[in-house]
Amino acid sequence: MFGVVGALHFVVPAMFEATVPHVLPQRRALVYASGVVEVACAVGLATKQRWAGPLSAATLLAVWPANIQMAVDASSQHKPIAQQIGLWARVPLQLPMIATAIEAARDNAAD
């Protein structure tokens, strides 16, 4: 997942830029930086690097505000209700993804 989404940061950066909370500066640069980090997470997880789990968990925490921003924007722009529900449902789903990254860190530390 990290690899595909990370690569998309470079293919369609405007889509990701729209999700960066409005209070943050240099949104395009943040999109590219997060794309690099997500690709690094994918490589690290695939090769079972010790740093990959913690970096993945931190990355998921760091992009959580963008997921919230997407949901807020969809609601305020009166997007289709199914889209709003999907985006709001995604917000708490970040928690099991973070837990999985932490578990990967434990697994890699045991190796």
Vertex 59: Cα angle to 90 and 39 (nearest 5): 100
| Cα torsion 74, 55, 40, 106: sign | negative
Hey, where are the domains in the chain? 2-110
Question: At 80, phi and psi to the nearest 5?
Answer: -55, 140
For residue 80, give both structure tokens. Answer: 């289709």
pLDDT digits (tens, 9 = 90+) for 36-51: 999 999 999 999 998 9
Model confidence at 111: pLDDT above 70: no
pLDDT digits (tens, 9 = 90+) for 59-110: 999 888 888 988 999 999 999 999 999 999 989 999 999 999 888 877 767 6
